[in-house]
Amino acid sequence: MGVIGLVGASLLLAPAAHTAAACDTLPQDKGRSSQNITVTVPGTYTLWVRMAKQAPDHDSIAVQIDNQCPVTIGDQLSTTGLQWINYRDGNVAVPATVDLTAGTHTVTLAGRETGVAVDKVMFIGNTYCTPVIFGDNCLADTVSTTPSGTQGKATAAPAKPAGPHKLWLAASIGAALGTIAFMISRFIAFERKIRETPVQIGQVVVGGASYTELHVFRRLFYFARHHWLMTSIAGIILTLSIVVGFAAASRPYPVFEAESGALFGGAKVAERAEASGGKVLLFEVNPPGTPAAPPLASGGTSTQTSGGTSTQTPTNGGGGGSSTPNNPGGGTSTGPCGTTTSHIADGPDGMGSCWPGASNTGPNASEASMGTYSGSCTITAPNTTIDSKVINCSPLLVGSGASGLVIKNSYVKGGVIQASGSASFTIQDSLIDNGVSYPACSDSSCPAGKYACGDPNNATTECGVGYRNFTILRTEIINTNRAAYCESTCLIQDSYFHGTNLWPDASNAAHASSVRNEQYLTLRHNTLGCDFTGPFANPELGCSADMSGYPDFAPIRNATIDKNLFLSNNVGAGFCVYGGGTGGKPFSSDPNNATYIVFTSNVFQRGANGKCGTYGAVTDFISGRTGNVWTNNKYDNGATVNPE
């Protein structure tokens, strides 16, 4: 989500008495999620996590704040239902308290055991309050006792009866009331004195018995002029009291849905009816081929930023290549890049690695050396693996019971589509060529041959990879109007999408993009291009963008777009990126639309017109929406790209 400097000082989890001086490292093998919190009022907070276990001894997670020592939350859960936990290291008598300074801080959740689900994370200033259900009782500062049977309230003595914002609110109210009382007393004294002894104020002598006949506003004016210094100081105090009071009265407690962070490895979003948003963050073993997650950077800054981009970065694998992870850029290649030209496919990425391209994605052996896949084109069995095969299915369908499907080191001659259900599947180190045979153009302007899948008039709409719970690693995808369509919960990393070879017939209304995003997409260190440049046989035919996201079918939300190369198309695409805030769509007015959209450290090719697309690099990114981040995005010449 790049490196973010902290606003304010440091944040420290209060150490338990038995904690060793040396830090444990975050677990590496069961996924992570990163999320930023913003603190408005400094003070001591209690960390609460709403979580559930899957089985005995599968009941804890690790939590790290900025680059401080991680701690274990849970480890003594009593039931499999979601419950609020605020103790650390398995000791229900030791609450997880946090000293927060005003500013932005990064919270990283890491899986310790498989199957642990996390719904919500809260930092509560009122140490007497135990969250109930979704925790709204503590956000409203309604002190409640722990309901019978509810686990999670630590037995340690409470630190103080009110959250830090209440102290600030009380102080601001006290200062305001004290100032008003003082000024009223001075005004009464002034009125009494001036009736007895008139005084000159400016060019006017004021006072005497007739003074009380003046309008009260006129008398206040004379009082303010006569005591101008005292009145000015009182005005400053009142103004500060109002500002501080409003800030303190607003909800200061940092709260976030665990599934809204930047996901890495085995961390994924799962449906759960009892969760506050109907979804939870679930920790599982990292998928095959996941690079090791690097540790957080030292020096008081985190290598993750808000909403959730993580710097668990790509490898340069596939195509027979190999690499090791690097922090904070892409993978550190063990050999030279395919070309010495920076910021093109196969070229140096400026972060110590190479951009994905034909030389470092796809299978590690030729198509001719592989056997043909002879199984069904509809996968129904769980945990199926297809390895080193030529798959002639167009499309290969992922059934609802096919969770755990892995396609690796293979040549796929069609799309991979999950039309219904929520089975998870992974495609890695493979080449997907989704070309479809078309006749010659109706006006003879193009020959018969193989063109990109995606002409809705010929019903070839099941193209590329779709639509939920998929992972794509080190894979090249060509000849499709949309390489990947993420409706929900997808990871695309170290991959190369290009070759948008649309059939240029007047009847073809294909609207193309390299990736289309809806919800919970993590797009990290890829080379993405929608590169069709004509001929344009009708006004509809062509590219929208390298990455599009329109609220046609659902709100666009919770996307992490980190360290990607967006290839320029100055004549065939309006923009290189759509940010989710497009107006005039069915879900444009949804309050969740265009929220938690995070762009960090991406590179945009300029092309001949210097804009990446025909009109610009990015459109419809709304900076002020909740959770949205736009940080360190550059053109290929180093100039800053600002959202439009």
At residue 200, does pLDDT exceed 90? no
Binning pLDDT at 50, 70 and 90, where does residue 609 land?
very high
- Pairing mode, if any, of strands 71-74 and 60-65? antiparallel
**Residue-level pLDDT at 154:** 31
- From 270, 292, 296, 376, select the one nearest 34 (Cα to Cα): 296
Region 455-463: what's the mean pLDDT? Answer: 69
Q: Report percent pLDDT > 90 for the chain.
A: 41
Are the C-beta atoms of 108 and 34 separated by less than 8 Å? yes
| Lowest-pLDDT choice from 43-57, 148-162, 414-428, 527-541 | 148-162
What are residue 528's DSSP bridge partners?
Answer: 497, 566
- Give me the DSSP letters along 572-640: TBSEEEE-S--SSSTTTT-TTTTEEEEEES-EE--TTTTSSSSSEEEES--TTSTT-EEES-EETTSPB
Binning pLDDT at 50, 70 and 90, where does residue 125 land?
confident
Region 214-227: what's the mean pLDDT? Answer: 80
Q: What is the 3-state secondary structure (H, E, C) of 511-555?
A: EEEEEEECEEEEEECCEECCCCCCCCCCCCCEEEEEEECCCCCCC
Count of CA atoms in the C-beta half-sphere (13 A) of 471 = 24
Region 149-163: what's the mean pLDDT? Answer: 34
**Residue-level pLDDT at 290:** 61
Mapped onto helix, strand or coil, the DSSP state of residue 195 is: helix
**DSSP for residue 400:** T
**Residue-level pLDDT at 397:** 95
Q: What's the one-letter identity of residue 118? A: V
Binning pLDDT at 50, 70 and 90, where does residue 94 land?
confident
Count of CA atoms in the C-beta half-sphere (13 A) of 189 = 8
Of the segments 147-151, 164-168, 604-608, which one has the largest average pLDDT value?
Answer: 604-608
Residue 130 to residue 120: CA distance in whole angstroms: 14
Structure tokens at 181: 């009382």
What are residue 51's DSSP bridge partners?
Answer: 83, 118
Count of CA atoms in the C-beta half-sphere (13 A) of 489 = 21
CB neighbours (10 Å) of residue 216?
A: 9
Which residues, 6 or more positions from 443, have their beta carbon under 8 angstroms from its beta carbon?
A: 506, 537
- How does the average pLDDT of the chain come out, rounded? 79
Are the C-beta atoms of 431 and 362 separated by less than 8 Å? yes
- Per residue in 239-260, pLDDT tens? 877 766 655 555 456 788 888 7
Region 450-463: what's the mean pLDDT? Answer: 76
Region 464-489: what's the mean pLDDT? Answer: 93
Residue 392 to residue 427: CA distance in whole angstroms: 15
| Phi, psi for 466 (deg, rounded to 5) | -160, 165
| Lowest-pLDDT choice from 157-171, 373-387, 561-575, 615-629 | 157-171
| Lowest-pLDDT choice from 294-308, 433-447, 506-520 | 294-308
Residue 615 to residue 634: CA distance in whole angstroms: 17
- From 460, 441, 457, select the one nearest 395 (Cα to Cα): 460
Are the C-beta atoms of 280 and 4 separated by less than 8 Å? no
Are the C-beta atoms of 433 and 412 separated by less than 8 Å? yes
**Residue-level pLDDT at 31:** 84
At residue 152, does pLDDT exceed 80? no
Of the segments 97-106, 143-152, 579-588, which one has the largest average pLDDT value?
Answer: 579-588
**Residue-level pLDDT at 141:** 41
**Residue-level pLDDT at 233:** 86
**Residue-level pLDDT at 440:** 95
At residue 293, does pLDDT exceed 50? yes
231 or 408: whose pLDDT is higher?
Answer: 408
**Residue-level pLDDT at 625:** 92
Binning pLDDT at 50, 70 and 90, where does residue 69 land?
confident
**Residue-level pLDDT at 457:** 65
**Residue-level pLDDT at 522:** 92
**Residue-level pLDDT at 291:** 59
**Residue-level pLDDT at 19:** 35
Region 107-121: what's the mean pLDDT? Answer: 87
Q: Report percent pLDDT > 70 for the chain.
A: 81
Of the segments 137-151, 319-333, 386-400, which one has the largest average pLDDT value?
Answer: 386-400
Residue 564 to residue 485: CA distance in whole angstroms: 17
Binning pLDDT at 50, 70 and 90, where does residue 384 land?
very high
Q: How many residues does the chain have?
A: 644
**Residue-level pLDDT at 615:** 94
Region 520-548: what's the mean pLDDT? Answer: 93
CB neighbours (10 Å) of residue 557?
A: 27
**Residue-level pLDDT at 165:** 52
Token pair 């899986």: residue: 111
Alpha-carbon distances of 434 from 84, 318, 497, rounded to whole Å = 48, 19, 12
**Residue-level pLDDT at 10:** 33
| Phi, psi for 93 (deg, rounded to 5) | -90, 0
Are the C-beta atoms of 170 and 87 separated by less than 8 Å? no
**Residue-level pLDDT at 292:** 55
